[in-house]
A = this chain, B = another copy of it.
Amino acid sequence: MKIYEIQALLERYFDKVELVGSSNVTIDGPAKIECAAKGNVSFVANEKYTRFIESTEASLLIVGEQTPTKQYSDSLSFLKVKDPYTAFVFVLQMFSSPRVIASDGVSPSAVIGENVMLGKNVSIGDHVVIGDHCVIGDNTVIGPNTVLMERVVTGRDCMFYPGVICYDGTILGDRVTIHSGTVLGADGFGFAPQPDGGYIKIPQMGIVEIHDDVEIGANNTIDRATMGSTVIEKGVKIDNLVQIAHNCRIGENTVIASQAGISGSVSIGKHCMIGGQAGFAGHLSLPDKTHVAAKAGVSKSLQKSAQTLRGIPAQPIRDQLRQEALLRSLDKMKRKLDALEEEVRQMQKGKGQQAEGKNT
């Protein structure tokens, strides 16, 4: 691929793409700036990386509009754009070949239930099991050994990687991607305690709803609602090993990092960012644009949007950082307190002697 072709691609997304250097050089793939070789394209989106421009062996760099580009060698060209990070993502997309998850059509080893509606151009992989009354949208790809139980409905252009399990009644929108080992719609964790110390199971009669453009990583668990739906709204991105319990609602474009755990009936707003290993008590709600730091333990609802929470139990980050600083200075406080106590003792002793002195 030539640099002018990459420029043409970026011009589809950016108003202004300025070329510095030659446009006819061949680019054969992307690389990180510090590892790039001749023929590679890389990028600088962060000032910390500008120091690598001098020494990189890349042939093309995508950089910001303000990045100085004049002083470098003739073998290095630049494309200058407003958002070089996103531009580089488009370049990556150009070079990435589509992954084969399942061949076109229905594998002979797949088992398709009764009254299943398959859309146009679907790919159903080896050993897939699709239960009765499922509906699979156009262009959807289902990887090997994935199981959809009864009445699962997917939109168009969905991707199920190998080994996904969808329980009965799960509903997915368009362009949803589910990675391997993820279980959608298992029973919520609901048991009613009995006088004998045992439990009876609360039937989990609801479903899981996944809206458009959601991507869910590997080995996650998203439980069905007791009644109604557990809802993952449009554009949500979920990492790996995340637990989302029954009756949760995760708002549009919220991002959840690995190993976070969301307890039952929690409602998270839109555009939130949840850090890795964060945990949530049940039945609370967080407003839009809340950020939760990694490992935080969120124990109550929040009213004000766009706050950052941190700590166990979680509090606004400013308070938490102040508290952590105080904690680190606790040793100093203790020494100061002991010194002061000693001083006061000396003063009292002095006063006593003074008093005694007066008496004599």
Contacts and interface: CB of A to CB of B under 8 A. Distances in A.
Interface string A212-240: 01010111110100111000000101011
12 contacts: A89-B203, A143-B147, A147-B163, A165-B181, A199-B253, A218-B223, A221-B258, A258-B261, A312-B312, A322-B331, A326-B331, A326-B334
Interface residues of A, number: 111
A168 B100 contact: yes
B333 A218 contact: no
Nearest to A236: B199
Interface in A95-129: 95-96, 99-101, 107, 109, 111, 125-127, 129
B161 A163 contact: no
A187 interface: yes
B324 A186 contact: no
Interface in A230-282: 235, 237, 239-241, 243, 245, 252-253, 255, 257-259, 261, 263, 270-271, 276-277, 279, 281
A8 interface: no
As for how many copies of this chain the complex holds, the number is 3
Contacts of A183: 163, 179-181, 218-219, 240
Contact of A348 (B96, B161, B227, B347): B347
Contact of A149 (B101, B202, B255, B324): B101
Contact of A186 (B168, B192, B218, B271): B218
Interface in A168-205: 168, 179-181, 183, 186-187, 189, 191-192, 194, 197-203, 205
B255 A100 contact: no
A144 interface: yes
A86 B196 CA distance: 13
A297 B215 CA distance: 27
Contact of A162 (B125, B129, B205, B294): B129
Contact of A340 (B235, B329, B340): B340
Interface of A: 30-32, 35, 85-86, 89, 92-93, 95-96, 99-101, 107, 109, 111, 125-127, 129, 131-132, 143-145, 147, 149-150, 161-163, 165, 167-168, 179-181, 183, 186-187, 189, 191-192, 194, 197-203, 205, 213, 215, 217-221, 223, 226-228, 235, 237, 239-241, 243, 245, 252-253, 255, 257-259, 261, 263, 270-271, 276-277, 279, 281, 294-295, 297, 312-313, 322-324, 326-331, 333-334, 336-337, 340-341, 343-344, 347-348, 350-351
Question: Is chain A's interface secondary structure helix, strand, loop, or mixed overall?
Answer: loop
Contacts of A347: 344, 347-348, 351
B327 A95 contact: no
A205 B340 contact: no
Given A239-B245, A340-B340, A343-B348, 12 more contacts: A86-B200, A127-B127, A129-B145, A147-B180, A165-B218, A181-B221, A197-B270, A217-B223, A323-B328, A326-B331, A333-B337, A336-B341
A228 B126 contact: no
